[in-house]
Amino acid sequence: MYLEKFVLPIEKEEALIEKRMWENAGPYGYIDNAYPCGMFDRKGLSQIDFEKITIFCGGNGSGKSTLLNLIAQKLELNRIAPYNSSEMFALYVKNCKYSLGYDDEGFKYRIPNGSRIITSDDIFDYMLTVRTNNNDIRENIEKAREGWGDLKFGETIKMKGIQDYDEVRLQVLAREKSLTRRQFIRRTAGTEVKLNSNGETALLYFDEKLKNDTLYCLDEPENSMSPQMQLDLAKMLEEMARYCGCQFIIATHSPFLLALDGAKIYDLDSEPVEIKEWWELENSKIYFDFFNKKRHLFEDK
């Protein structure tokens, strides 16, 4: 287990705010936004102790994504998507502390290379990028189809300058005897990336991106996934934590991920924050009550 403990500077928050105010304008200093100060003090959360799988559960605004971002910034994890910040955020991160675990031989772990935070925005951006690239490729395919005949059978292009290089190169390629029209189009226009449904693409994204022996912060990874795919993702995460040397810190609402085997769950909706089993969470109880009221619809008639 790479990350063992993370400590928030809630006892220093007032001093940090005063320091930042003084930096802004001396005795007349002010702060427009003190975020994340005050978020966890009222919840009585100052320290997080981790397991191989640690989950932050809570409603919108409960602080689960903020905790992931604080951890990711303090550990300098790789990230793609930007995060909500404030003028206090960097100073707050600087005053956070953490401790690492030890391996079987008693040596302290280091945060593995390639460790990163993955957000739902990363996945959506990936899907949008692929779609945009596919659209560009489709346009190139049409141009290649229309231009292949002229390049192969038309007048030979003479190279008068560097500006003619690309056209000459394409004509040489089109006139290769061993190259069919279809092969020419594929080589010049590119190949589209196969896109399935959003949920299938998201699951494939995790299958491709998650590597062995790595620490990951996952912010609502279940977004856009059907229940079955959430179960598939849960199985993937359980196996990687158990057999592949991975540690996961997850922010989620999903009952399928909350039920991950061996997960330690911090309920951020409770004040003070409590560690709970997944079936004790209000979120899970809502699902249970909903289906329990309609139990008769599932029973054999």
Contact 183, 152 (CB under 8 A): no
Chain centroid to Cα 89, Å, comes to 20
> Which of the four pLDDT bands, split at 50, 70 and 90, describes residue 239?
very high
Residues 118 and 243 grouped into a single domain:
yes
- Domain stop point among 155, 173, 189: 189
Residues 244 and 284 grouped into a single domain:
yes
What pLDDT shows up at residue 79?
92
> Which of the four pLDDT bands, split at 50, 70 and 90, describes residue 106?
confident
Q: What is the mean pLDDT of the chain?
A: 85
**Distance in Å from the first CA to the final CA of the chain:** 50
Q: At what angle do helices 181-189 and 165-174 cross, to 10 degrees?
A: 150
What is the mean predicted confidence (pLDDT) over 259-264? Answer: 96
Residues 248 and 280 grouped into a single domain:
yes
- Strands annotated E in the chain: 3-7, 47-49, 53-57, 97-100, 116-119, 215-219, 247-251, 264-267, 274-276
Q: Which of 48, 43, 38, 49 is nearest to 12 (CA)?
A: 38
What pLDDT shows up at residue 11?
92
Domain count, the chain: 2
Residue 196 has pLDDT above 60, yes or no: no
Q: Which two tokens stand for residue 235?
A: 């199985």
Residue type (1 letter), 113: N
Q: Which residue has the tokens 């409960």?
A: 62
What pLDDT shows up at residue 116?
96
Residues 16 and 35 grouped into a single domain:
yes
User: Lowest mean pLDDT: which of 118-132, 200-214, 249-263?
Assistant: 118-132
User: Lowest mean pLDDT: which of 8-22, 45-59, 68-82, 125-139?
Assistant: 125-139
**Quick one: what percent of the chain has pLDDT higher than 70?**
78
> Which of the four pLDDT bands, split at 50, 70 and 90, describes residue 65?
very high
What pLDDT shows up at residue 51?
97
What pLDDT shows up at residue 194?
54
Residues 9 and 106 grouped into a single domain:
yes
Q: Check the CA dihedral 149-154-157-163 and report its sign.
A: negative
What pLDDT shows up at residue 203?
87
Q: Is 205 contained in some domain?
A: no
| 22-57 per-position pLDDT tens digit | 888 777 777 888 899 999 998 999 999 999 999 999
**Quick one: what percent of the chain has pLDDT higher than 90?**
52
What is the mean predicted confidence (pLDDT) over 91-112? Answer: 93
Residues 137 and 114 grouped into a single domain:
no
Residue 20 domain boundaries: 3-122+214-293
Phi-psi sector, 67: left (phi>0), alpha (psi -120 to 50), beta: alpha
What is the mean predicted confidence (pLDDT) over 250-259? Answer: 94
Phi, then psi, of 236 in degrees rounded to 5: -60, -45
What is the mean predicted confidence (pLDDT) over 243-268? Answer: 95
CATH of the domain at 89: 3.40.50.300
Residues 95 and 128 grouped into a single domain:
no
